[in-house]
């Protein structure tokens, strides 16, 4: 073949090679970016009151659902950035059987005539605690109730309710203030990554949450906070995966 005849063939081959080399970058530019909030996004959740979990423990979602009461649907919702509306009134499943305290405090009193018109006394929700008492959570203000719990301590209804339902052994305990009781429970931070039921999870840290309830006046829940944490609890504590 003459040189003049070879040049077009070489030019075509070079163009084809350039197209092949450029294809991966072109495909990458046209491919959609991964969704950071999709089913395969990493998610951090809180498991309340489970004394069997230990730091560094590795589990599957199936393990968490079967052995630790974790709602796989909640775990997926948190992974997608969907936070359940836990300020809505909840169903009231039967509280777990525990030994009643030596001193039985009365159920929360109804608001007085003066408090009835105060928006701070608006009832957000109520439930039955582990020791079979009615817990009233009211809107409150900067000093007590859900407003203080959310704004000062970065907790939510699910964290408060689950703490009173699954307290640590020996709790609740009566406080010096008449008819005031503290509920304390361990809360484990479980971090999961992967896709749906194939996620792998690990216990990475824990904290203890305290909830103070006054059963002798109209306020009900006074406060909730993380022990040893100045101010606001970590965000993951609000993601109660075994919310009661």
If asked whether residues 20 and 140 sit together in one domain, one would say no
**Per-residue model confidence as pLDDT tens digits over 36-67:** 344 556 899 999 999 999 999 999 989 999 99
Of the two residues 122 and 94, the one the predictor is more confident about is 122
- Please state the pTM of the whole predicted model: 0.73
Where in the sequence is the domain holding 104, given as residue range(s)? 35-238
Are 25 and 81 in a shared domain?
Answer: no
Between CA 140 and CA 130 the distance in angstroms is 23
- Is position 86 within any domain? yes
The owner of tokens 């040049």 is 7
Contact 57, 228 (CB under 8 A): no
Mean pLDDT, residues 93-105: 41
Contact 136, 108 (CB under 8 A): yes
What is the pLDDT at residue 108? 45
Residue 244 lies in a domain: no
Q: Is a pLDDT exceeding 70 seen at residue 98?
A: no
Answer whether residue 243 is part of any domain: no
The pairing of strands 123-128 and 220-226 is unpaired
How many domains does one find in the chain? Answer: 2
**pLDDT-wise least confident of 25-29, 34-38, 163-167, 232-236:** 25-29
The gap between the terminal CA atoms of the chain, to the nearest Å, is: 83
User: Any idea which residue has 């203030």 for tokens?
Assistant: 177
Q: What is the mean pLDDT of the chain?
A: 78
| Cα 36-197-78 angle, rounded to 5 deg | 45
């Amino acid at each position: 073949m003459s040189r003049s005849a070879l040049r077009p063939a070489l030019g075509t081959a070079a163009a084809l090679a350039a197209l092949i080399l450029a294809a991966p970058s072109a495909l990458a530019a046209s491919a959609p970016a991964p969704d950071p909030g999709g089913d395969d996004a990493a998610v951090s959740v809180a498991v309340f009151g489970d004394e069997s979990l230990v730091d560094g423990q590795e589990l599957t979602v199936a393990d968490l659902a079967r052995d630790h009461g974790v709602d796989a649907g909640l775990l997926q919702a948190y992974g997608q950035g969907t936070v359940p509306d836990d300020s809505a009134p909840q169903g009231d499943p039967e509280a777990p059987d525990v030994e009643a305290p030596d001193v039985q405090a009365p159920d929360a009193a109804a608001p007085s005539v003066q408090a009835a018109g105060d928006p701070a006394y608006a009832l957000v929700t109520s439930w039955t605690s582990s020791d079979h008492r009615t817990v009233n959570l009211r809107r409150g203000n900067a000093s007590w109730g859900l407003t203080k719990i959310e704004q000062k301590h970065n907790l939510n209804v699910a964290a408060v309710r689950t703490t009173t339902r699954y307290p640590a052994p020996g709790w609740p305990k009566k406080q010096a203030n008449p008819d005031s009781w503290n509920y304390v429970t361990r809360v484990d931070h479980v971090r999961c990554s992967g896709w749906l039921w194939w996620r792998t999870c690990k216990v990475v840290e824990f904290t203890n949450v305290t909830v103070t309830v006054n059963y002798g006046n109209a306020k009900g829940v006074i406060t909730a906070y993380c022990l040893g944490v100045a101010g606001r609890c970590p965000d993951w504590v609000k993601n109660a995966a075994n919310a009661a």
